[in-house]
Amino acid sequence: MKKYQAKCSPLFYLLVVGMFLIPMVILGLDVEMFTQRPVILLPILPPIFMMLWIYFDTWYGLEGKKLFYKSAFLKGNIPVEQIREIVVGKTSYVGTKAAMGTKGLIVKFNRFDEVYIAPKDNEELVEDLLKINSHTHITKPSNHDQR
């Protein structure tokens, strides 16, 4: 399987760092509270672990004639023959989003299904997909469409 690394936006990095800094700042302000009640950190642990899981377990791959995507608990595969359109360089904020970055690929398949992925190199993945299915329509949004 050929794997593709996921792109990570600066906002995602900021969220991960912020998740670690918040308890450290609170700890610095009142050390006695944490020594008496360390359980107070429990509510912030699940989001920290979730963000780290997403960061370390987001990738995309091509094996045979299938495109695989995985982002923590969100995973799936798409038969490349079913991909009807790929929108390059646009960000999707709704639907299935197996990505940490912006300006990735919106992969449309079947009739109404789509998934948003953000590999580090959009063009490499698109080229590899076109080698398998040359009938896939590639759309690049104009400058005023990119958000």
Convert the pLDDT of each residue in 46-104 to its tens digit. 988 999 999 999 999 999 999 999 999 999 999 999 999 999 999 998 889 999 999 99
This prediction has a pTM of 0.84
Rounded to the nearest 10 degrees, the angle between the axes of helix 45-56 and helix 10-29 is: 150
Alpha helices in 1-147 (DSSP H): 10-29, 31-36, 45-56, 122-132
Q: What is the pLDDT of residues 26-37, one digit of tens each?
A: 778 887 877 788
d(CA 29, CA 108): 50
Q: Among 3.30.910, 2.30.29, 2.40.10, 1.10.150, what is the CATH number of 1-142?
A: 2.30.29
pLDDT of residue 28: 81
CB 104 within 8 A of CB 65: no
Q: What's the average model confidence in pLDDT over 114-119?
A: 96
Nearest to 7 by CA among 104, 74, 141, 115: 104
